[in-house]
């Protein structure tokens, strides 16, 4: 570093001022600095012939590689069968260890949930990753009833409704189902479709398909979980239907109120249009009577005219509208309270039914255990 400082301090920077153009001055300055850096830290170009394999950098593998190379050299030199056999044995052992180390490396990398870390650690190994995924990450099969039980428990605990919530369920189950030999990655859509399929079988009372891969106790637990999920979904659907009916009733009421208001307005306008006409006709009749009396003709009996109705003022109309909207607001509040009471009632009903089902299941299991214990005692 001292030589670099000395070299930089001895650079002929005064030569820069020989140029008048700023661009030429900058280029001259950059050239001086770049030449000095290249003299002290030259660029070394390296050609990479194959992608790196970090799983090979373990002590056991490197020791076996050295031993394999030595045996290979001696086998070619001596051509002895014993050395060739030793070479083959070490070679096979090395291949086994490399496969195990490679599998462990990719399982560790792909088990992370952070995609940034995955690509950072595996940049340049994409071909190896693709082959590993195609070999070790086959589609997950719901082959065991225990998987279905865990899925139903997770669904009942979380009660997912959006895709993001289903993805959260899938991530949790992926961690539970994964083992050292096989990494399991579930999707939210797959979990949702599996639950729907189980519910469809449960609703169709297809007990053979549910019972085919589990014991009686596991089947009973799965049956109970599916019943709880079905009840929960049914309650959700009922609540949605109540909301839809409430909105429809509200729209119908608004439509009727609007039609009634339009009718009242039309009647009021028609009454107002008739009032000036009646007053004009009354004045004309009075003029005719005056003319006839002046000519000496007997005056006919004067008709008693109806008094015109007094027009409502703007203030009274505003009061009427305020009263109308106050009534609507009070009705809406009453409807909201009624719906809240219905929802609370349904919630309490669901909790009571769930508790009863759980107690019934516990009693059945206890009865079965007692029967089994009695049978064992008799056999013994």
Half-sphere exposure of 177 (CA within 13 A, CB side): 26
Mean pLDDT of the region 112-119 = 67
Please tell me whether residue 350 adopts helix, strand or coil conformation. helix
**Average pLDDT of the segment spanning 170-178:** 82
pLDDT at 97 > cutoff 80: yes
Residues in CB range of 189: below 8 A, 6 or more apart: 163, 166
The CA distances from residue 153 to 137, 197, 216, 253, 353, in Å, are 25, 16, 18, 44, 18
Answer yes or no: are the C-beta atoms of 148 and 221 closer than 8 Å.
no
What is the phi/psi pair of residue 310, to 5°? -80, 130
Residues 6+ apart with CB under 8 A from 230: 199, 202, 203
CA 215 to chain centre: 34
pLDDT of residue 294 exceeding 50, the answer is no
Give CA–CA dist 316/338, Å, rounded. 33
Please tell me the distance from the alpha carbon of residue 132 to that of residue 136, in angstroms, as a whole number. Answer: 6
Q: What is the pLDDT of residue 171?
A: 84
Neighbours of 125 (CB within 10 A): 19
**Cβ distance 150 to 173 under 8 Å?**
yes
- Provide the pLDDT for residue 292: 47
pTM assigned to the model: 0.34
pLDDT cut 90: percent of the chain above it:
3
Confidence of residue 91 (pLDDT cuts 50, 70, 90): very high
If phi over 0 gives left and psi between -120 and 50 gives alpha, with beta otherwise, what is residue 120? alpha
Among 176-185, 193-202, 317-326, the range with the most confident prediction by mean pLDDT is 193-202
Please report the pLDDT score of residue 136 as a whole number.
47
Asked whether 55 and 122 are in contact (CB, 8 A), the reply is no
Residue 40 confidence (pLDDT): 82
CA nearest to 149, candidates 204, 207, 214, 203: 214
Q: How far is Cα 197 from Cα 141, in angstroms, rounded to an integer? A: 14
Tell me the mean pLDDT in the region 153-158. 85
CA atoms of 209 and 219, how far apart (whole Å): 10
Mean pLDDT of 15-25: 82
Distance CA 69, CA 142 (A): 47
pLDDT of res. 289: 46
- Split at pLDDT 50, 70, 90, the class of 311 is low
- Specify the pLDDT at position 135: 47
Measured CA to CA, the distance from residue 358 to residue 346 in angstroms comes to 18
Whether the CA torsion 136, 139, 144, 148 is positive or negative: it is positive
- The mean per-residue pLDDT over the stretch 56-75 comes to 87
- pLDDT-derived band of residue 251, with 50, 70 and 90 as boundaries? confident
Answer with the residue of higher pLDDT: 325 or 215: 325
What sign does the dihedral 207-213-217-223 (CA atoms) show?
A: negative
**Alpha-carbon distance 52 to 123, whole Å?**
10
Mean pLDDT score, 40-69: 79
Mean pLDDT of 88-95: 91
pLDDT of residue 134: 47
Q: First vs last Cα of the chain: how many Å apart?
A: 90
107 touches 183 (CB < 8 A): yes
pLDDT surpasses 80 at 253: yes
Decide which of 115 and 172 is more confident. Answer: 172
What's the average model confidence in pLDDT over 36-64? 77
Q: Residue 373 has what pLDDT?
A: 81
Rounded Cα distance, 300 and 289, in Å: 8
Nearest Cα residue to 227 out of 250, 201, 253: 201
Would the pLDDT of 2 be above 60? yes
Q: Measured between alpha carbons, how far is 236 from 259 in angstroms, rounded to an integer?
A: 35
Q: What interhelical angle do 2-9 and 22-40 show, nearest 10?
A: 150
Q: What is the DSSP string of 153-184?
A: HHHHHH---SHHHHHHHHHHHHHHH--SS---
Is the confidence at residue 209, as pLDDT, over 50? Answer: yes
Indicate the average pLDDT of the chain. 76
Q: Are 123 and 191 in contact (CB under 8 A)?
A: no
Helix (H, G, I), strand (E, B) or coil at 192: helix
Cα distance between residue 286 and residue 273, in whole Å: 22
Top mean pLDDT of 106-120, 181-195, 338-352 is at 338-352
With a pLDDT cut of 70, the percent of the chain lying above it is 73
pLDDT of residue 30: 87
């Amino acid at each position: 570093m001292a030589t670099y400082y000395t070299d930089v301090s001895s650079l002929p920077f005064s030569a820069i001022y020989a140029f008048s153009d700023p661009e030429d001055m900058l280029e001259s300055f950059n050239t001086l600095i770049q030449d000095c850096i290249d003299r002290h830290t030259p660029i070394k170009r390296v050609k990479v012939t194959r992608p790196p394999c970090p799983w090979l950098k373990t002590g056991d593998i490197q020791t076996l590689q050295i031993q394999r190379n030595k045996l290979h050299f001696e086998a070619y030199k001596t051509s002895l069968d014993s050395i060739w056999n030793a070479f083959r044995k070490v070679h096979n052992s090395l291949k086994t260890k490399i496969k195990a180390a490679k599998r462990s490396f990719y399982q560790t990398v792909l088990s992370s949930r952070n995609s940034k870390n995955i690509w950072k650690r595996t940049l340049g190994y994409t071909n190896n990753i693709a082959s590993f995924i195609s070999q070790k990450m086959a589609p997950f099969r719901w082959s065991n009833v225990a998987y279905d039980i865990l899925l139903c428990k997770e669904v009942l605990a979380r009660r997912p409704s959006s895709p993001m919530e289903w993805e959260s369920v899938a991530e949790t189950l992926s961690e539970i189902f994964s083992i050292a030999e096989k990494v399991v990655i579930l999707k939210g859509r797959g979990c949702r479709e599996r639950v729907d399929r189980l519910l469809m079988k449960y609703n169709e009372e297809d007990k053979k398909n549910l019972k085919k891969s589990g014991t009686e106790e596991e089947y009973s637990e799965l049956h109970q979980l599916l019943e709880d999920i079905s009840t929960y979904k049914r309650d959700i659907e009922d609540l949605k239907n109540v909301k839809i009916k409430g909105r429809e009733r509200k729209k119908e009421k608004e439509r009727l109120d609007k039609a009634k208001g339009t009718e009242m307005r039309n009647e009021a306008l028609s009454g107002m249009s008739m009032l000036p006409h009646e007053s004009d006709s009354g004045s004309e009749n009075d003029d005719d009577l005056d003319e006839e009396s002046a000519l000496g003709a007997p005056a006919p009996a004067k008709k008693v005219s109806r008094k015109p109705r007094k027009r409502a003022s703007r203030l009274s109309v505003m009061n009427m509208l305020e009263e109308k909207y106050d009534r609507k607001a009070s009705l809406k509040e009453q409807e909201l309270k009624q719906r809240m009471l219905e929802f609370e009632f349904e919630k309490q009903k669901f909790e009571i039914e769930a508790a009863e089902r759980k107690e019934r299941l516990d009693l059945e299991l206890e009865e079965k255990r007692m029967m089994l214990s009695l049978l064992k005692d008799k056999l013994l």
